[in-house]
Amino acid sequence: MTIPIAWQPDPEAQARARLTEFLKQCGEPDFDSLYRRSIADVEWFTAELLKFLAVTFDPPYEKLLDLSRGVEWARWCVGGGLNISRTCLADKDPAQTAVAWEGEEGASRAWSYRALRVMVKKCAAGLRDIGVAKGDAVGVHLPMMPETVAVMLAVARVGGVAVPLFTGYGPAALAERLNDVGAVCVFTANAFPRRGRVIGSKASLDEALARCPSVRHAVVVTRLEGTAAPMTEGRDLSWEALCERGSDSHIEPTSAEDPLLIVYTSGTTGRPKGIVHSHCGFPLKAAADMAFGFDVGWRTRIGWVTDIGWMMGPWLIYGSLLLGGTMALFDGAADYPHPARIWAFADRQNLAVLGVSPTLIRALEAHGEEWAQHHSLESLKYFGSTGEPWTPDAWWWLFGRAGHGRIPVMNYSGGTEIAGGILCNNPLLPIIPCGFSAPCLGMAADVVNEQGESVRGEVGELVIRKPWLGMARGFHGDPERYLDTYWRTFPGVWRHGDFARIDDAGHWFIEGRSDDTIQVAGKRVGPAEVESVVSSHPLVREAAAVAVPDDMKGQAIAVFVVAREGAGPDLEEELKELVARELGKPLRPSVVKRVSGVPKTRNGKIMRRLVRAAWLGEPQGDVTALEDPALLEEIGGLRNR
């Protein structure tokens, strides 16, 4: 099947692109040539990237890549001194806006690079004064706001390790993560608004800290004026009190491979995984992807709908600062108090890049396209998209309706463990709906069968065959689980856990998590493929497809759908027939059930394994990352109806 090209790059824009600038630096004629060289010689590519980003080491590194412990434990820039907080703020125009911010209730602020530098120094002085030292873990339980940026840089400045935490976490989830890293300090907000309600984040943290003996201090940032937050004497202090303790210009010497971040991802079984990232890893991979995939450079204004607890929060902070851009932070529900809110934000902030998720776009699509027509989006050059696979209807709505066929969708897929993307569209290549033009530079991506052999034109496991700068430095305190998760299925090759497909034209597609595999009578299919067909029905808003046991076929397909208004009693049978017609009769779902919502994480990923466990009445494991755990009870309750 021939996939239509939805967007072609403009030659003038191509000539000005950061990626073209990098091509010229490397002496390569086109993207394909540069990509092939970047994976053939990852050390050469990384050295060129460090030059492009103007990263300096003090002292200089002795060896760029050390594989003496095996590819699983690759070390980069060995012996080099690097504290990324210095690089983020060095050589920037002091008067330029570094951080622009809007809150759900309409409040707004902006900090210049000069103001950010001042606040980072004050916060660092306060952290040192309360005893936070090199190697100490510091929780960051804050909404996306200017102070959050200052905290992330100040923790790095004193040599600490930042632990970003979702603002929506309850006490148990907070306590588990803070205890896992032995955090000595945590930042939180007094409260924040969501859809007009006041969320008491400090109250949740207080309950968590009753179980966290290592935490000596909690710093409270006022996000909502006039909302009181109880303060525990001897432990709690305000942001103002912390920052009144002086201004410290000292930057703690750290090595390039010292830990910078521990970012948690949740599994469906066992405890959450704390992904360890270094000073030379996560930030530089973020900046590379932001420059080459989204054309961010000096003064570029980029916004992303995210939370600090999702990797895209730190990604936005480090990437934009390293590139000399301006980050625009939005704290609130992106469709509240009206469905045009996020488009208004893009216009007011004069954004060149706006990052969204397919889940958000499906929600906005349900309100009707007229809301997207209220704002010109004249400054917008690119939509960014990550978090989950697209359905065609939602993709075309964003590109064709909201973006008027003018603004390309830079699809971007990777993960917390990657520090960014494996696959990404870019300004030099044509774009197809829902897919990817190419892997990111330096990412030796491939699709393999169960024997680890490369395949084309069929669904297989997404793998990475060579190390890259941003790769995880393991799971905190659990090296064996890290090896089991990523490295032992295909020895020496990173198995990412996604199903992917490369078509005959070289286009890439993500087909869902490989541990969500559906195999019916020997035919294997990715759940996203089933969901895409189901969601093409005009009366279906979204869907989740999972494998369930079947006595005859081994596995069958169960689909849980959110129906649109007007859906009649025959919808379930219509959907079964639709899947059979589009994918083949053997893949006709055995179960189709209507639900009020699909269980998703707070960053919009459908949790299919939890859907399956709820339907089958199996143990669900960790559910703390879910936006609405009550949906699992609803699914479980449908089993006997």
Identity of residue 145:
M
pLDDT of residue 268: 40
pLDDT of residue 381: 97
Q: 548 with 555: CB under 8 angstroms? A: yes
Terminal-to-terminal C-alpha distance of the chain: 40
Burial of residue 629, with CB atoms counted within 10 A of its CB: 0-12 exposed, 13-18 middle, 19 or more buried: middle
pLDDT > 90 fraction of the chain, expressed in percent and rounded? 77
Average pLDDT, the chain: 93
Whose tokens are 């002292």? That residue is 59
pLDDT of residue 269: 44
Q: Which of 109, 112, 117, 171 is nearest to 144 (CA)?
A: 109
Q: Is the pLDDT of residue 581 over 90?
A: no
Radius of gyration (C-alpha) of the chain in whole angstroms: 24
Query: Alpha-carbon distance 587 to 603, whole Å?
Result: 30
DSSP string, 403-418: STTTS-EEEEEEETTT
Q: 254 with 159: CB under 8 angstroms? A: yes
- The 10s digit of each residue's pLDDT in 537-576 is 999 999 999 989 887 777 889 999 999 989 999 999 999 9
Which tokens belong to 452?
């680890």
Query: Alpha-carbon distance 392 to 540, whole Å?
Result: 13
Cβ within 8 Å of residue 374, ≥6 positions away: 340, 343, 344
Q: How, if at all, do strands 259-265 and 382-385 pair?
A: unpaired
Query: Which residues on adjacent β-strands are paired with residue 301?
Result: 326
Which tokens belong to 363?
């929600």
Q: How many CB atoms lie within 10 A of CB 490?
A: 18
- The 10s digit of each residue's pLDDT in 6-59 is 999 999 999 999 999 999 999 999 999 999 999 999 999 999 999 999 999 999
Q: 482 with 69: CB under 8 angstroms? A: no
pLDDT of residue 391: 83
DSSP 604: S
Query: Alpha-carbon distance 249 to 157, whole Å?
Result: 9
Task: Choose between 618 and 205: higher pLDDT.
Answer: 205
Q: Which of 420, 426, 119 is nearest to 245 (CA)?
A: 119
Query: Alpha-carbon distance 391 to 399, whole Å?
Result: 12
> H or E segment at 527?
helix 527-535
Q: Which residues of 476-488 are buried (b: 16+ CB within 10 A; e: fewer)?
A: bebeeebeebbbe
Query: Which residues on adjacent β-strands are paired with residue 557?
Result: 547
Q: Which of 508, 485, 529, 83 is nearest to 280 (CA)?
A: 83
Task: Choose between 2 and 434: higher pLDDT.
Answer: 434
Residue 629 φ/ψ region, left for φ over 0, alpha for ψ in the -120 to 50 degree band, beta for the rest: alpha
Q: 176 with 271: CB under 8 angstroms? A: yes
Question: Full-prediction pTM beyond 0.95?
Answer: no
Q: Which of 635, 627, 636 is nearest to 266 (CA)?
A: 627
Q: Which of 613, 485, 477 is nearest to 179 (CA)?
A: 477
Burial of residue 250, with CB atoms counted within 10 A of its CB: 0-12 exposed, 13-18 middle, 19 or more buried: exposed
pLDDT of residue 517: 67
Task: Choose between 249 and 81: higher pLDDT.
Answer: 81
460-486 mean pLDDT: 97
Query: Which residues on adjacent β-strands are paired with residue 75?
Result: 66
Q: Per mean pLDDT, which range of 218-232, 283-297, 397-411, 621-635 is the poorest? A: 621-635
DSSP string, 61-81: PSEEEE-TT-GGG-EEEET-B
Cβ within 8 Å of residue 46, ≥6 positions away: 64, 65, 76, 442, 469
Query: Alpha-carbon distance 22 to 53, whole Å?
Result: 10
Q: Is the pLDDT of residue 585 over 90?
A: no
Which tokens belong to 266?
């949740």
Q: Is the pLDDT of residue 266 over 80?
A: no
Longest CA–CA separation in the chain, Å: 72
Q: Could you give all domains of the chain from N- to C-terminal order, each with its CATH number?
A: 517-637 (3.30.300.30)
Query: Which residues on adjacent β-strands are paired with residue 447?
Result: 462
Query: Which residues on adjacent β-strands are paired with residue 545?
Result: 559
Q: Is the pLDDT of residue 411 over 80?
A: yes
- The 10s digit of each residue's pLDDT in 125-171 is 999 999 999 999 999 999 999 999 999 999 999 999 999 998 988 88
Burial of residue 41, with CB atoms counted within 10 A of its CB: 0-12 exposed, 13-18 middle, 19 or more buried: middle
Query: Which residues on adjacent β-strands are paired with residue 562?
Result: 542
Q: How many CB atoms lie within 10 A of CB 536?
A: 14
Which tokens belong to 276?
């360890």
Query: Alpha-carbon distance 442 to 285, whole Å?
Result: 10
Q: How many CB atoms lie within 10 A of CB 551?
A: 6
Which tokens belong to 460?
């297989």
Band (270; pLDDT cuts 50, 70, 90): low
- Kindly report the CA angle at 595 between 590 and 597, in degrees rounded to 5? 130
- The 10s digit of each residue's pLDDT in 66-124 is 999 999 999 999 999 999 999 999 999 999 999 999 999 999 999 999 999 999 999 99
- The 10s digit of each residue's pLDDT in 430-448 is 999 999 999 999 999 999 9
Query: Which residues on adjacent β-strands are paired with residue 404?
Result: none
Query: 3-class SS at 7?
Result: strand
Burial of residue 132, with CB atoms counted within 10 A of its CB: 0-12 exposed, 13-18 middle, 19 or more buried: buried
pLDDT of residue 524: 64
Task: Choose between 207 and 272: higher pLDDT.
Answer: 207
